[in-house]
Amino acid sequence: MPKITIDSTEIEVEKGTTVIQAAEQIGIDIPRYCYHPGLSIVGVCRICLVEIERMPKLQVACYTPVADGMVVHTNNEKVQQARRAVLEFLLINHPLDCPVCDQAGECWLQNFYMQHGLYDSKMVEDKVKKQKALPIGPNVMLDSERCILCTRCVRFCDEITETHELGIFNRGDHTELLPYPGQELDNKYSGNTIDICPVGALTDKDFRFRTRVWYLTETPSVCPGCSTGCNINVHHNDHRPYKAGGIRVSRLKPRYNPDVNQWWMCDEGRYGFTQVDADSRIVAPQKKTRGDWQLLSWQDAIDEIATKIKGILNKHGADAFGVILSPQMTNEGLFAAKRFFQETLEVENIDFEVVAREKGYADDFLMKTDKNPNSEGAKKIGLSAVDNSGLEVAQMLADAKDNRLKALYICHHNLEKGFKKEEVKEALSKVDLVIFQGTNQNSTSNLANYCLPSASFVEKDGTFTNFAGRVQEIHKAVEPLGESKPDWTIFRNLSKRLGKSMPYFEAGDVFNALAEEVDAFKGLSYEKIGEHGVLLNGHRASTEKEMGALVA
């Protein structure tokens, strides 16, 4: 392996490593615009110039492979002067938009000018004008004047999505990034071009002018949009006091995980968080009285529901009770449900799958048909009808229709997505007690006797298990809306009221209990999960790649 010296530090690296990558390994951050570790190397921006001893000119660090004995200087006077010159060149025609540019605060032209530029402009000529605020796709706005022609977005569309919508047109200072004639930037992953654009040339229609980025806090989490479980950061504005009907989550951004999504996420997941602050959120426990919803305190809701459940079990037995859980729930919510229904109530009619498996678009990159984040967790915890020798959802509805089922506890589902509307309506109207627990109202919640508000994925801690058996953490980014609570807390409280305590105070307690009890999770602990997740027993590290989650 070649040994090189970078800024007086000696390092041994794999053959083929470039200077920029070698420097990164020892914590030296060489400025870059066009270089992105997930894309091919083109060396067009020249900001990463470094001095390599015995080479006559400065070299681009992104393109130059290391050689044994190489001595590199990344920050001497010669290098600093070259960086200043590159910045001066890039800024010749760059508009003075910073005060009105949505990228301000996360713009690498701004940042590098402050770190390496700080010169007085010599330019007196008028700047070349180009198109501004040009919509180039359903999600992306282009400001051509701000583009520094790094070609990251072009390479993304050529190499990652292979949809080839973008190109560089014209010559000299009229050179411009644009979609090809008649095309728009409309692929399933178009939002990633906004993330990788180092300046304010590509901005997000959904986010622009909503808030200044320095007001945002980011909380690491996992996208609940499908079973891939892309790692994300939830960006939320904690500086703005929340008003009813306001928006707390500003945007989702992909978070690097080499084994799951690398640097990327799909647009469906990126823009699919609107239900978190939607008007349809259930914000307090409620019961239907003579057709009208009446709000309840949690204490009253738990008391009333517990009394009714007890009454039905005493009169009709556990076989008259059906439970429909959801792979939208965390492992903790599902495990607490298992304990409550199986141990406290001794109910066996538990299922989660049928309607949850609503199919959606899938590809051989990240997006999966299963639009639930935790089907694998639900399976491994043993919550299907087969595991419990109980009734499947379809049979529960049939039994309800025939008056054999007297109570149904439905979590998060809209049953009309899996069954005919009339069938669901008829079945639920025959049941004495229908409890709906979820984040948002839907046509199933409207047919219930009680609605209990669950915290959404940005309002709680917990874990999801992705399709490949990787357990990954979600974290609370904002306070639960209204009176909503994590699912596991609701089951714990109901269980306590019905005589069986669960000693859980936070999500980690539930996960650790799950890891003690369920074989697939044995040996894991909440503390061990870490930022990139851990695999369940029996799953190999390369499973995701083998199953086509990543481009080779």
* Residue with token string 């070299």: 59
Q: How far is the CB of 431 from ligand SF4 (least distance, A)?
A: 34
- Contact (Cβ atoms closer than 8 angstroms) between residue 380 and residue 465: yes
Strand arrangement, sheet containing 71-73: 9-12, 3-6, 71-73, 49-52, 59-60
230-249 residues near ligand SF4, rule: CB under 6 A: 230
Asked if 194 is part of the footprint of ligand SF4 (rule: CB under 6 A), the reply reads no
Question: What secondary structure letter does DSSP report for 40?
Answer: -
Q: Within 13 Å, how many C-alpha atoms sit on residue 263's CB side?
A: 12
Choose between 124 and 552: whose C-beta lies nearer to ligand SF4. 552
For the bound state, the minimum distance from the C-beta of residue 540 to ligand SF4, rounded and expressed in Å, comes to 21
Q: Which of 23, 62, 223, 405 binds ligand SF4 (CB under 6 A)?
A: 223
By CB under 6 A, is residue 101 in contact with ligand SF4? Answer: no
Choose which of 28, 50, 62, 197 interacts with ligand SF4 (CB under 6 A). 197
Choose among 491, 510, 492: nearest CA to 501: 492
225, 333, 390, 533: residue in contact with ligand SF4 (rule CB under 6 A):
225
Q: How far is CA 49 from CA 29, 87, 198, 502, in A?
A: 12, 12, 18, 60
> What is the rounded distance in angstroms from the CA atom of residue 384 to the CA atom of residue 539?
21
* Contact flag: residue 424 with ligand SF4 (CB under 6 A): no
- CB closer to ligand SF4 out of 116 and 492: 116
Rounded to whole angstroms, the Cα distance separating 448 from 434 reads: 5
Q: Which two tokens stand for residue 156?
A: 């993304």
Number of residues that bind ligand SF4 (CB under 6 A): 25
Residue 362 near ligand SF4 by CB under 6 A: no
> Where in 260-279 is the site for ligand SF4 (CB under 6 A)?
261, 265-266, 268-269
Q: Residue 147 interacts with ligand SF4 (CB under 6 A)?
A: yes
Minimum distance of ligand SF4 from residue 238's CB (angstroms):
24
Q: Judged by CB under 6 A, does residue 23 bind ligand SF4?
A: no
Q: For residues 266 and 335, what is the distance between their CA atoms, to the nearest angstrom?
A: 29
d(CA 451, CA 436): 5
**Of the candidates 152, 235, 287, 380, which one interacts with ligand SF4 according to CB under 6 A?**
152
Range in contact with ligand SF4 (rule: CB under 6 A) among 52-60, 149-157, 381-389, 527-535: 149-157
DSSP tag of 122: -
Q: How far apart are the first and last CA of the chain?
A: 24
Q: Is 136 in the site for ligand SF4 (CB under 6 A)?
A: no
- Closer residue to ligand SF4 (CB): 19 or 266: 266
Strands 71-73 and 3-6: parallel
Give me the residues that bind ligand SF4 (CB under 6 A), please.
147-153, 177, 197, 199, 201-202, 223, 225-226, 228-230, 261, 265-266, 268-269, 366-367
